[in-house]
Amino acid sequence: MAEQKKVRHILSLSGGKDSAALAIYMRDRVPEMEYIFSDTQKELPETYEYLDRIASYLGKEVVRLNADIGFDHWYEMYGGMIPSNHRRWCTRALKLKPFEQYCGDQEVVNYVGLRAEENRGGYISHKSNITAVYPFKEDGLVLRDIEEILRTSGVGMPPYTQWGRTRSGCYFCFYQQKIEWVRLKETHPDLYDKAKAYEKPYEKTGNFFTWSQGESLSELEQPARMEHIKREHVIRIERQKSRNENVTLAKVFADAESAQEPDDDDEQGCLVCQL
């Protein structure tokens, strides 16, 4: 009789709430699950702490991919060109490829933390041996269920949400909103300065690329500009609140953040880093 092929079950943690909740949700349903984290080496310090907390709840190691090679290696390979949603080499090099290499040619079930109310597609592997599954969608779990899973497990929400950041991923991620840059500047001024240091003329063309659309981080950190961004944000939140009287506060903030997405013609890139 032919030997049955072993199927591996893999869940990729991003440091965000949805993949964390999914790991908790699946822990006892799929005991053989392998948990991984593709480390860009540019995550917030809080994210590394959060991953330790999740690993301790799971009672299993979270395997770190890119253990030796992080963002700066690829940044040099790309001639010092910072990524953007139109030049998104980082997701491919730092998230997708390491994941596919880790899977190899074996049959893999890839667990993705998209929620039931979400319509966006995931930036997932199209290799024929990898099959994506969406347990939250299949079981009809929405944002409040995810919050509940995190609360009752004791793992909690990602720590960066305490200072108003909504996304996991690199501290300099170009998907970050203006208000999140302001909060980064106020909470981690050292990381803001490190992000700023990447903004310099691209060596091949002399073009000056910025992380945030339409302005450099040196411009964005000017006190008057930061105050303006904060005021605009409060107005947006108030407007959103009056439209959403029956939803959770977290949803109000999430909606307000997505409402100001600047040029989000391809949000798939952030899914793999930020679910």
Kindly list the residues in this chain that would bind ligand SF4 in the complex (CB under 6 A). 40, 83, 90-91, 94-95, 169-170, 173-175, 269-270, 273
**Residue with smaller CB distance to ligand SF4, 248 or 258:** 258
Closest contact distance (angstroms) between CB of 251 and ligand SF4 is: 23
Structure tokens at 254: 């999430």
Closest contact distance (angstroms) between CB of 235 and ligand SF4 is: 27
Closest contact distance (angstroms) between CB of 128 and ligand SF4 is: 25
The CA distance from 240 to 242, in Å, is 5
The CA distance from 114 to 23, in Å, is 12
Structure tokens at 64: 């770190």
The CA distance from 150 to 157, in Å, is 6
Q: Taken in order 258, 262, 267, 273, is the CA torsion positive or negative?
A: negative
Closest contact distance (angstroms) between CB of 67 and ligand SF4 is: 16
How far apart, in Å, are the Cα atoms of 214 and each of 23, 184, 188, 211, 267? 38, 18, 22, 9, 19
**Residue with smaller CB distance to ligand SF4, 87 or 243:** 87
**Residue with smaller CB distance to ligand SF4, 155 or 273:** 273
**Residue with smaller CB distance to ligand SF4, 95 or 115:** 95
φ and ψ at 126, to 5 degrees? -105, 15
224 bridge partner residues: none
Burial class (CB in 10 A: 0-12, 13-18, 19+), 234: exposed
Closest contact distance (angstroms) between CB of 223 and ligand SF4 is: 27
Nearest C-alpha neighbor of 25 from the set 175, 35, 68:
35
**Residue with smaller CB distance to ligand SF4, 17 or 95:** 95
**Residue with smaller CB distance to ligand SF4, 25 or 172:** 172
Helix (H) or strand (E) holding 142, with range, is none
Closest contact distance (angstroms) between CB of 84 and ligand SF4 is: 9
Closest contact distance (angstroms) between CB of 59 and ligand SF4 is: 28
In 3-state terms, what secondary structure has residue 85? Answer: coil
**Residue with smaller CB distance to ligand SF4, 97 or 230:** 97
